[in-house]
């Protein structure tokens, strides 16, 4: 079969690769119908994630059709359409029993990281019964691809951890796919204001269309002052960090109101200063999280009921044979205005 294979920092190839086989009785082999590229795949290609070794097929998002199941799989059978979760979960270990699937002792975020991923014609999914979701006939398949990773990530790590409440003021720093997913799902809770911060005016325009009440371009280095002005000097109740660099986390530290919550979503590669000299008396909470995908069943219902439309995030479409072109487009988002790209078989 064909697959997109990581060959070390800066190197990838679209090449022939053996089709995966069932290795555990709880595995399923899924034929990929649609997949996409995540910012995290670009992090891997930069060499930021040493857990992902050369020779690995990338990708942790997608939908497909069950090709084969191991003897212990009871929920799915060949021919069933499924949504693939970016996190694999055994459902039985101590972390899974606490709904921390991301820390499953035999799963977690392994797809396209420590085991071969979804940017291929076929993928092996471990713990299939508890890592796949059935797709009902008539469902919008492109919209569902956004539920493998970005929607649960924005919602769980940003909105739930950030304790977004009706009438509150929320700031989301970073208007990429994850920040925009947080923006879409924050509106479940009717906050009074959602202020989006980014360097890219195009992404801020998109944020306005998605329901942002205010936008701040932080290119001038004065975003903290701008947010404080917009909030009458009070600051925000929830600050969601959706970039993953020191400047944006420190911005959250500057704009958080007393009693507020800073919810970190970004993957950080270097240390960030925690300004306790300013924050010790502010009654704030800081949270971190790797997406657990516990909200996926709820998000499937919300999308099926057309309460949100994650398809809005899709800007480009490619055939699987053109996946290198898809990477090129996604990797130059500032020029191509790409958010999420759909890659279809």
Ligand X SMILES: NC(=O)c1ccc[n+]([C@@H]2O[C@H](COP(=O)([O-])OP(=O)(O)OC[C@H]3O[C@@H](n4cnc5c(N)ncnc54)[C@H](O)[C@@H]3O)[C@@H](O)[C@H]2O)c1
Q: Which is nearer to ligand X, 2 or 43 (CB)?
A: 43
Contacting range for Zn ion; rule: CB under 5 A; set: 63-71, 147-155, 285-293, 321-329 = 147-155
- Residue 235 binds which one of Zn ion, ligand X, none, with CB within 5 to 8 A depending on kind? none
Q: How far is the CB of 97 from Zn ion (least distance, A)?
A: 8
* CB within 8 Å of 126: residues ≥ 6 apart: 24, 26, 27, 88, 106, 107, 110, 115
Interactions with ligand X, residue window 103-162 (CB under 6 A): 149, 153, 157
| Contacts of residue 110, Cβ cutoff 8 Å, sequence gap at least 6 | 88, 126
Among Zn ion, ligand X, none, the one that 173 touches (CB under a kind-dependent 5 to 8 A) is ligand X
SS3 string of 101-137? HHHCCCCECCECCCECCCCECEEEECCHHHHEEECCC
- Cβ atoms of 38 and 150 closer than 8 Å: yes
157 binds Zn ion (CB under 5 A): no
Minimum CB–partner distance for residue 155 and ligand X (Å): 11
Residue 202 exposed, middle or buried by CB count within 10 Å (0-12, 13-18, 19+):
middle
63 lines the binding site for Zn ion (CB under 5 A): no
* CB-closest chain residue to ligand X: 176
Length of the chain: 345
Does position 38 interact with Zn ion (CB under 5 A)? The reply is yes
Both tokens assigned to 328:
């090129």
Whether the CB-CB separation of 172 and 194 falls below 8 Å is answered with: yes
The residue ranges that bind Zn ion (CB under 5 A) are 38, 40, 90, 93, 96, 104, 149
The residue ranges that bind ligand X (CB under 6 A) are 39-40, 43, 149, 153, 157, 173-179, 197-200, 203, 218, 242-245, 247-248, 265-267, 289-291
């Amino acid at each position: 079969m064909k697959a997109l294979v990581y060959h070390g920092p800066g190197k990838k190839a679209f090449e022939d690769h053996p089709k995966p086989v069932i290795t555990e009785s709880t595995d399923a082999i899924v034929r990929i119908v649609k997949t996409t590229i995540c910012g995290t795949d670009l992090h891997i290609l930069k060499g930021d994630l040493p857990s992902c070794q050369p020779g690995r097929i990338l990708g942790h998002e997608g939908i497909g059709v069950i090709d084969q199941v191991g003897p212990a799989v009871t929920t799915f059978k060949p021919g069933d359409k499924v949504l693939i979760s970016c996190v694999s979960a055994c459902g039985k270990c101590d972390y899974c029993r606490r709904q921390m699937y991301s820390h499953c002792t035999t799963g977690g975020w392994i797809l396209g990281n420590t085991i071969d991923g979804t940017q291929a014609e076929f993928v092996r999914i471990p713990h299939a019964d508890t890592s796949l979701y059935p797709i009902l006939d008539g469902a919008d398949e492109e919209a569902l691809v956004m539920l493998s990773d970005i929607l649960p990530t924005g919602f769980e790590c940003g909105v739930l951890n950030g304790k977004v409440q009706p009438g509150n003021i929320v700031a989301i720093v970073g208007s990429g796919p994850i920040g925009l997913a947080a923006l879409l799902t924050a509106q479940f809770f009717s906050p009074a204001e959602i202020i989006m911060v980014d360097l890219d005016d195009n992404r801020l325009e998109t944020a306005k269309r998605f329901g942002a009440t205010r936008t701040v371009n932080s290119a001038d280095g004065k975003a903290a002052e701008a947010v404080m002005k917009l909030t009458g000097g009070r600051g925000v109740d929830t600050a969601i960090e959706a970039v993953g660099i020191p400047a944006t986390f420190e911005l959250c530290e500057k704009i958080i109101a007393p009693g507020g919550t800073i919810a970190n979503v970004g993957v950080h590669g270097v240390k960030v200063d925690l300004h306790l000299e300013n924050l010790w008396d502010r009654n704030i909470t800081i949270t971190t999280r790797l997406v657990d995908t516990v909200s996926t069943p709820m998000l499937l219902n919300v999308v099926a009921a057309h309460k949100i439309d994650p398809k809005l995030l899709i800007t480009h479409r490619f055939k699987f044979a053109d996946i290198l072109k898809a990477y090129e487009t996604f990797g130059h988002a500032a020029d191509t205005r790409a958010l999420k790209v759909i890659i279809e078989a």
